[in-house]
Structure 1
Amino acid sequence: MRRIAALSSAVALACLTGATGAAAAPPAAAVLALDGNGECTFPMKKQIKGTPWSLQRLVFDRLWEDTKGKEKNGKPVRVAVIDTGVDDTNIQLKTAVDKASGANFLPPAKDASKEERKLAEDPTVDEVGHGTKVAGIIAARPREGTGFVGLAPEATIIPLKQNNAEGKGTPQKMAEAIRKAVKEGARVINISQDTKGARSQIDLEQAVAYAVQQDVVVVAAAGNDGADGESKRTYPASYSGVLAVAASDRNNERAYFSQSGDFVGVAAPGVDMVSTVPKGGQCVDNGTSFAAPYVAGVAALIRAKHPDWSRQEVIAQIEQTAERGVNGRDRYIGWGVVDPVKALTDDDKKIERPTADTGPAANVPKPEPGRLTLGETPQERRTRLATYALGTGAVVVAITAGGAVVLRDWRRRRDA
């Protein structure tokens, strides 16, 4: 049984090395999860029965009306998960992971045995659980007894193991993983990591540019160092062509830890996120690490429904249909919080770029200026005449009634 103590969710993101490329230990919460006891234990013997809050807002009949992650010809969309590995023994991921197309970019220890080296090469060995949770949010298969399921449960996951609990991943290794993902036919790449020190790396930048040129949708977590509210760039999320994802809470507001910046494209649920863990069951975690695959799952569905759409058109669709708090884009949640159902149903025509809302006031007819009159207006005259007519009628009635009373009294006195 694997047990890992949980730390603050504000640092629940795997980190890579800085500009020097030397290995650096990441914040431990990069590989952690939170449950009711403050720690994540896996395998989890019990499943989480209820439907996670991030899925309760979805109408699955509409979301999956056209596809669950497969094109019309039955070909599943391939999504690469560059992370700590993806366990394929969890029953919800058993048929989702394409182990043969995966790879492990972490070198084995120098003193490792032959058996240990063989195990180290397996991209489906996830000692920390981070990549398995990321993959589950994208493509976990439905299972009786739990309300948790991936957003694209018929997509295929390419497991690319590039980091671990000791922070052995490097920007160079991530660059290799990105190129491998493109080679293996990934149409979406999910990267729930960022570089330590927020420094750009030439190898990584070139690899991302290559994936973009190959029409791959690259989704990356914005980072979890946003508690101070200051904007700063993270990589690879800040590279051109990448859809950077911030984390939102249950109120569709930025999660306090989510990194803000002008590079943020959209936000997605990233608080109390349920997902799969190695060997079985589910666990709960927090971070932009788990907001990014939520968006990657939506991207997979769009690519399955519209295989002819370019990566830019897929990203624009996600951004345009997001639920916005402002009319345009801001540095906290980008174009808004992703709306999976709207992204898959409000798609009559493809677009190249999202546009700012004009706001409700723009649709209200402008009031026409009143006509200047120096005397009585026609309406005032009609009102006055109607009042006169009503008053005159009342006087006539009163006179008639009064005359009748006088005549009656005179006749009574005469008869007496």
Structure 2
Amino acid sequence: MLAAARALTAALLLFTGASADPVREQQQWVLDALNVEQAWNVTKGKGVTVAVIDSGVDVDVKELKGRVSVGPDMTAGVISRELPPGRHGTAMAGLIAASGEDDGLIGVAPESRILSLTMVTDEDPELVVPPPEQDEDQQVSDSPLARALRYAANHGAKVISMSIGSYGPLRSEREAVSYALGRGVVLVAAVGNDGLTNYARQNSTSYWSFPAGYPGVIGVAATDKQGRRAPFSSDNLSVLVAAPGVGVPVVKRESGYEMSEGTSSAAALVAGVAALIKSRYPNLPPEQVAQALASSARGRPAAGYDDQTGFGVVDAAAALNAAERLTGEQRSVAPGMEHFGQGEDSPMPTPPGPDPLRLWLYGGGVLFALVMFCGAIIVLNQRKE
């Protein structure tokens, strides 16, 4: 069953960093690639809760202490279980909201909060082949991800980060995605690490991963230090934007740091940028947050878009500027299609019914004609006499 086959999208490669440099120095290239420090002059994410749907987050990590709320276990349905914090979920939460305590790792939105929703464990098997075809309407009525999305949307999350994935959509998840979007929640997901699979080689495209493949979800690909697409990063039309996903420092459970590789890290970083936007512009709807991220991205492909890095690498400061411009727009404009929505608005349509000015002109003309007619009759009568 697909619902039971949920796995960690990134198959995040975590390994002990060989460099003895302080973690802030190791992560500087990531902050530079996303232009985060300039964005911090405007906001650091205060007032925004980001739900991390993943393995559990370690609340005792110094950079996250006091700023993580733990929701119910989403894997167990109505049964509550105590699950230990996960390596993967803790790493993703740190990329989003780590405070930088004691010169430690700092997240993209260091003043945001985390809502930890456990949907997988670090021991879940990774999917390596597409599942058999199924009729979406005949699938299970609920799934852990669907429950997690609704819970997050109902408990104050403004952004949801999903560094998870499986092959094949579920109706319950698609409906939960729509529900969360309808409540103004920004959804961000990793597109997967299938770029080097046999399927990708044979078909020149990667198999779609969900939730990144659901409409309205911001799918994130991974890039390296040169801004190039990481070879393992999935390439398909679920990719909207890209972010660093190679050699990215992350926090470990309990203490310490590791290096990460995968689209998981890229998605968490973009979720942090989305938190910055929602902190500054809390009423900006999800589709316009996505538009701000895409329209302001750096390293845009020559064609404007491709299925490897989407519209380019996210630029946090530029995205905030784009969001500011969008706050005055009454309609969404797809990136690259600005000529359909910019410029002066058309004038308001004339209300139905007679035009008062034209009535006065018409009435005045009629009155003038009557006066002239009556005057002509008087003159003619006088001549006859």
Indicate the TM-score class for this superposition, using the shorter chain for normalisation: 0.7 to 0.9
* Alignment length (residue pairs): 311
Q: Tell me the secondary structure at the aligned position of residue 23 of structure 2.
A: coil
Change (3 A) 1:237 1:291: same
- Give matches, 1:248-267, under 5 Å: 248-267=223-242
Counterpart-to-counterpart distance in 2, 1:68 and 1:181: 21
Task: Indicate yes or no: 2:88 matched with 1:130.
Answer: yes
Change (3 A) 1:269 1:107: same
Counterpart-to-counterpart distance in 1, 2:240 and 2:313: 10
Change (3 A) 1:65 1:46: closer
Change (3 A) 1:210 1:59: closer
Say if 1:266 and 1:322, in contact at 8 Å, map to a contact too.
yes
Find the partner of 1:90 among 57, 61, 67: 61
- Give matches, 1:227-246, under 5 Å: 227=196, 228=201, 229-246=204-221
Q: Tell me the secondary structure at the aligned position of residue 150 of structure 1.
A: coil
Counterpart-to-counterpart distance in 2, 1:107 and 1:58: 37
What's the Cα RMSD here? 2.9
User: Please, what TM-score do these two structures have when normalized by structure 1?
Assistant: 0.69
Instruction: Give ranges in structure 2 of 5+ residues lacking alignment.
Output: 127-139, 339-385
Change (3 A) 1:281 1:327: same
Counterpart-to-counterpart distance in 2, 1:172 and 1:248: 31
CA apart distance, 1:145: 3.3
Say if 1:190 and 1:293, in contact at 8 Å, map to a contact too.
yes
CA apart distance, 1:206: 1.4
Task: Indicate yes or no: 2:320 matched with 1:344.
Answer: yes
Say if 1:68 and 1:152, in contact at 8 Å, map to a contact too.
yes
1:104 matched to which residue of 2? 73
Counterpart-to-counterpart distance in 2, 1:61 and 1:254: 23
Larger radius of gyration: 1
Change (3 A) 1:162 1:47: farther
Say if 2:229 and 2:309, in contact at 8 Å, map to a contact too.
yes
1:140 matched to which residue of 2? 98
2:372 matched to which residue of 1? none
Find the partner of 2:82 among 121, 130, 134: 121
Q: Which amino acid aligns with 2:228?
A: E
Change (3 A) 1:48 1:347: same
Instruction: Give ranges in structure 1 of 5+ residues lacking alignment.
Output: 1-17, 38-44, 71-75, 109-116, 359-416
Change (3 A) 1:283 1:206: same
Q: Tell me the secondary structure at the aligned position of residue 240 of structure 1.
A: coil
Counterpart-to-counterpart distance in 2, 1:259 and 1:154: 31
Q: Tell me the secondary structure at the aligned position of residue 95 of structure 1.
A: coil
Counterpart-to-counterpart distance in 1, 2:17 and 2:245: 17
Counterpart-to-counterpart distance in 1, 2:8 and 2:272: 26
2:16 matched to which residue of 1? 35
Find the partner of 2:112 among 149, 155, 176: 155
Say if 2:9 and 2:190, in contact at 8 Å, map to a contact too.
no
CA apart distance, 1:309: 1.0
Task: Indicate yes or no: 2:184 matched with 1:203.
Answer: no
Say if 2:35 and 2:316, in contact at 8 Å, map to a contact too.
no
2:373 matched to which residue of 1? none
CA apart distance, 1:46: 10
Counterpart-to-counterpart distance in 1, 2:226 and 2:311: 16
Bigger mean CA deviation after superposition, 290-299 or 169-178: 169-178
- Give matches, 1:186-225, under 5 Å: 186-195=157-166, 198-225=167-194
Counterpart-to-counterpart distance in 2, 1:36 and 1:344: 32
User: Please, what TM-score do these two structures have when normalized by structure 2?
Assistant: 0.74
Percent identity, please.
Answer: 36
Q: Tell me the secondary structure at the aligned position of residue 114 of structure 2.
A: strand
Counterpart-to-counterpart distance in 1, 2:193 and 2:34: 26
CA apart distance, 1:221: 0.5
CA apart distance, 1:87: 0.6
